[in-house]
Structure formats: C-alpha cells, structure tokens
Structure 1
Amino acid sequence: MLWYHIVFLALIQGLTEFLPISSSAHLILPSQIVSWPDQGLAFDVAVHVGTLIAVVSYFWRDVYFILKDWSASLLGARATSNSRLGWWVILATIPAVLVGLCFNHFIEANFRSIEVIAYSTIGFGVLLWVSDRFFAHAKDIQQLRLPSVLVIGVAQALALIPGTSRSGVTMTAARFMGFSRDAAARFSFLLSIPIIVAAGSLKSLELLSGQHLLVVDWHSIIWGVVLSALSAYLCIHLFLKWLSQIGFLPFMIYRLALGALLLWLVKVS
C-alpha cells in the first residue's frame, strides 16, 4: 500500500469502528470502488489492535472495576453493579461469537458485495433512527437485565453482515429496549472489547497459519496501529460528548446518502 492508503484506511477504521456507520463497509469499499489494493490480513489485525487500545484506554477505569468485581464474584464475593455488568458483557458477546464461528466463511463468500452493503447501510440506518425517535428512553446502564442483554447480543450478531455496523445495531437494540443514548453507547463500547479481541484473535490465527508473515510490511503495521488508536480514541470522546445533543439523525442521513451512492454505482457499473 502507498502511504495515503495506510493513513486513510487506519483513520477510517478508527473513526467508523465506534460510529454507527459500519467500519467493515468502509474498509471494503476502497478496494471495490477505486481499485485500491486489498490491505491484507496483517493490516486488518493492526487496526483492530489500534481500536482495542483506544477503547480500553478510554474506559480503563470501568474496565478495571468490572474485571475486579467480576473476578471477585467468581470467588464468592457479593454481586455488585460492576460484576453484573461483566456478566452482561459476556452473555451479550456469545451470540456474535457463535454466529461468527459457524457462518463467517459463508458471510465472507456471499455478503461482501457493494449491493449488500448498500441495502444493509440503508435498512439498519432507518432502524437506528426509528429506535431513537419513537421509543421511550430513560433507562441507564445499571438497569440492564437478562432479556435486554440477550436482545442486544442477538442484534450484535447481525453486524457480521457488512454495512450493518456493530455499534449501530447494538445501540439500535438498546434504544428499542428503552435505554438512554448514553447508556446505549457505553454498553456498545464495552461490548466492543471482547468482540475486537475475538475478531483480532481469529485474524491473527489465520495470519499465523498461512504464509502471510512472509509479506508483512511492518512500517504499515505500526502506522496502522498508531493512527487507528488515535482516531478511535478521539471518536469515542467526541461521540459521547455530542450524542445527547445531536442524536442519531445525522448518522441515518449519512447512511441513506452512502447507500444511495452505492446503489447508483452498482447500476452504472
């Protein structure tokens, strides 16, 4: 990849991983629309590591207390809001992991087209806005219960379809279940930690099991980690700061515009 490929793709991964606009779609599109070279498996792992560094760094206090209380609960300590939140994160992660293990290759082979990305971008964008506009939202993150967690977890599994957006679909489900914008976003970001670890581990195993290490460009890898981490950290901070004011309407408008552009490209190609 050329230097501007590295910069663009790393920044796009960092910005779109946590915004409800689908990072997978934005990473697929450059190679399909403007014929950029595929960034390769090693670079995918690098930018996943960068976004993981960002979200853990931003929520390090939450992560610390969740892990501390959850670990103590395994040893018989009294349950706390943090230990329960740890269990909710685990339970909500299971559906996506199972679906990913069972159907990842099928999805990769059949759903990575511009047309699929366009329709999922539009459809799930509309659902995000509907959930934000027409449902009562007063619950905070401490009011999570098993039914809501399972709904959010099942919704997260849908994000394996390119264009869906993992953060977008989990926030949509949380909003449908009556949670505030801040609660929906924070739980979505906490859920991203095990999912990014799982996705990065899977890609790392694929990398180590093949011949990819022979062609790894470490200069690209390092810049991919750094740029995706910095852009993701900034994105999380600004998103949480502005979300209560702007809502999800701007993201739906962006998704509709992007989906329409992609459908037009399919038609004229």
Structure 2
Amino acid sequence: MEISHIIVLAVIQGLTEFLPISSSAHLVFIPQLLGWQDQGLAFDVAVHVGTLTAILWYFRQDLRPLLHAWWQSCLTRELTAESRLVWGVILGTIPVALIGLILSVLDLDEALRSTVIIATTTIIFGLLLGYADKTGLRARSEYQLTGWDVLFIGLAQAIAVIPGVSRSGITMTAALLLGLNRTAAARFSFLLSIPIIVLAGGMETIKLAKQADQLVWLDMGLGVLFSAISAYLCIRLFMGLLERMGMMPFVIYRLFLGVFLLVWIGF
C-alpha cells in the first residue's frame, strides 16, 4: 500500500470507530470512491488493534477498579455497581458475537457490504439516532442499567454487523432510548467496544495465520500507529463536546452521506 493510503485509511478508522457514523461503511466506500485497491484483511486487523489501544488507554484509570470489582463478584457472588457494569458489558457482547459467528460461518459478510445497503442503513439509523437524542430522558448513568437494559442494547448492537448501521451509533441510540444521559450512553458504548474489537480481531487474526510470511509489517505498524492516535484524540474531543452539541451533527452527516452514496451509484 502507498503511505498516503495507509495514513488516510488508518485515520478514517480511528475517527469513525467511536463516532456514531459507521467505520465499516467508510472503509468500504472510500477506497471504492477514490479508486484504491482494497486494503485487505491484514490492514483491517491492524487498524482495529490501533483503536483498541486507544480505548484501553482512554479508560486506563477506570478498567482496573472495574475488573477488580468484577473478579470480587466472581469470588463472593456479591454485586456492586462496578461489577454489574462489567457483567453488563459481557452480557451485551453475547448477541453480536453469536450473530458475527453465524455470518462468518455462512460467509455472508461480503453480501452485506453493498453500497445500497450501506446508504440505506446510514440514513435509517441516523434518523433513529436523532429521534433517540431528542426524546430520551437523559436521566440515568451507565451504572444504573438493568439486565434487561443491557440485553436490549446488546441486541441492538447485533444489528451493527450490517455495514452502515454503526456499532457505536446503534448502542448509543439504544442507551438514549432507555433514558441514559449522553455521556453515559457514550461511555457504555465505548466499554462494549473492547470485547467486540478483541473478538473480531481474534477471528481475523486466525484467518491471517496462514499468510504470516506474506504480511507487510511496515504497513500494519503504520496502520496501528495512526489509527491509535486519531482514535484517542477523537474520543477525547467527542466526550468533551458531547453534552453541549448532542447527536444532531452526526445525524445530519449521516443523512448527507447516505444521500450522496445513493446519488453516486445512480440509485
């Protein structure tokens, strides 16, 4: 890959992974739009490692007490607010993990990557995000989620296997509909991303195992670096401005993007 392509795609992945605008959609249509060669599975794994690094670093002060509380709950069978949150992340991961496994076994991943599907889901779920942001009560934190709340968010997250839906977008939408405030919705969505990125990256790494001698390690290293930096900066900026600006800028962006894609393919 050319250096310019690596930087652009890595930065796009970093910026879009945690914003409610669908990173998978951007990684599918931007190379097509610019006439670039497909970046390949190895590069996708690399940029996901970068975004995982960013989210782990962002939550570095939160993860240790959360994991400690979770481990204590395993030993004592007594739940605290912190341990419930970790169990919630685990429960919320199960639906999308099962759906992702089924799609992988049936080899349906590529069938869902059409531009029409991406454009349609970008518009529909963008409008739903706007509705949730306008009507949500925004009165609860992520520590007040019940088991049924988490299951609802987890089932919503499973829909994000379809490109254009946006994993972060649909989980924030579900959380807002349940009455979480914007910051809490974003924090829970980001925490949910950790096991998902680990699982998805693990499955893709297994596929790459037979190609280890063919990998371009410099390309992958640069992908990790630039996606990690851009993702971390994006998270910091997003969390700092979220309560003031709300979700409407992302809703508007999604509508314009969806319409643009439909016009582009002559739909």
Letter in 1 for 2:130: W
Alpha-carbon distance in 2 for matches of 1:133, 1:116: 26
What is the Cα deviation at residue 60 of structure 1?
A: 1.1
For normalisation by structure 2, the TM-score amounts to: 0.97
Query: Match of 1:130?
Result: 131
State the SS of the aligned residue for 1:78: coil
Letter in 1 for 2:153: I
Alpha-carbon distance in 2 for matches of 1:174, 1:146: 13
Q: Does 1:164 align with 2:181?
A: no
Query: Match of 2:215?
Result: 216
Q: How many residues align?
A: 266
Query: Match of 2:116?
Result: 115
- 1:107·1:161 contact (CA, 8 Å) conserved in 2? no
Alpha-carbon distance in 1 for matches of 2:257, 2:26: 10
Query: Match of 2:14?
Result: 14
Letter in 1 for 2:129: L
Q: Which runs of 5+ in 2 are unaligned?
A: none
Query: Match of 2:33?
Result: 33
Alpha-carbon distance in 2 for matches of 1:81, 1:225: 34
Alpha-carbon distance in 1 for matches of 2:191, 2:156: 15
What is the Cα deviation at residue 42 of structure 1?
A: 1.1
Q: Which stretches of structure 1, 4 residues or longer, exceed 3 Å deviation after superposition?
A: 104-107
- 2:125·2:165 contact (CA, 8 Å) conserved in 1? yes
What is the Cα deviation at residue 190 of structure 1?
A: 0.3
Task: Spell out, residue by residue over 1:197-241, the C-alpha distance to the aligned partner (whole angstroms, 9 max, x if none).
Answer: 001001001111x3x323211111111011100111011111000
- 1:107·1:160 contact (CA, 8 Å) conserved in 2? no
Provide the aligned C-alpha RMSD in A. Answer: 1.2
Query: Match of 1:259?
Result: 258
What is the Cα deviation at residue 129 of structure 1?
A: 0.3
Matches within 5 A, 1:187-266: 187-208=188-209, 210=210, 212-266=211-265
For normalisation by structure 1, the TM-score amounts to: 0.96
Letter in 1 for 2:241: W
State the SS of the aligned residue for 1:131: helix
What is the Cα deviation at residue 109 of structure 1?
A: 3.0
Letter in 1 for 2:220: I
Letter in 1 for 2:62: D
- 1:70·1:87 contact (CA, 8 Å) conserved in 2? yes
Task: Spell out, residue by residue over 1:159-202, the C-alpha distance to the aligned partner (whole angstroms, 9 max, x if none).
Answer: 10000100000000001111100010000000000000001001
Letter in 2 for 1:120: T
Task: Spell out, residue by residue over 1:235-267, the C-alpha distance to the aligned partner (whole angstroms, 9 max, x if none).
Answer: 111100000010000001000010011000111
Q: Which runs of 5+ in 1 are unaligned?
A: none
Alpha-carbon distance in 1 for matches of 2:255, 2:73: 45
Q: Does 1:154 align with 2:155?
A: yes
Q: Does 1:99 align with 2:102?
A: no
Please say which of residues 183-192 and 57-66 is displaced more in the overlay: 57-66
Query: Match of 1:141?
Result: 142
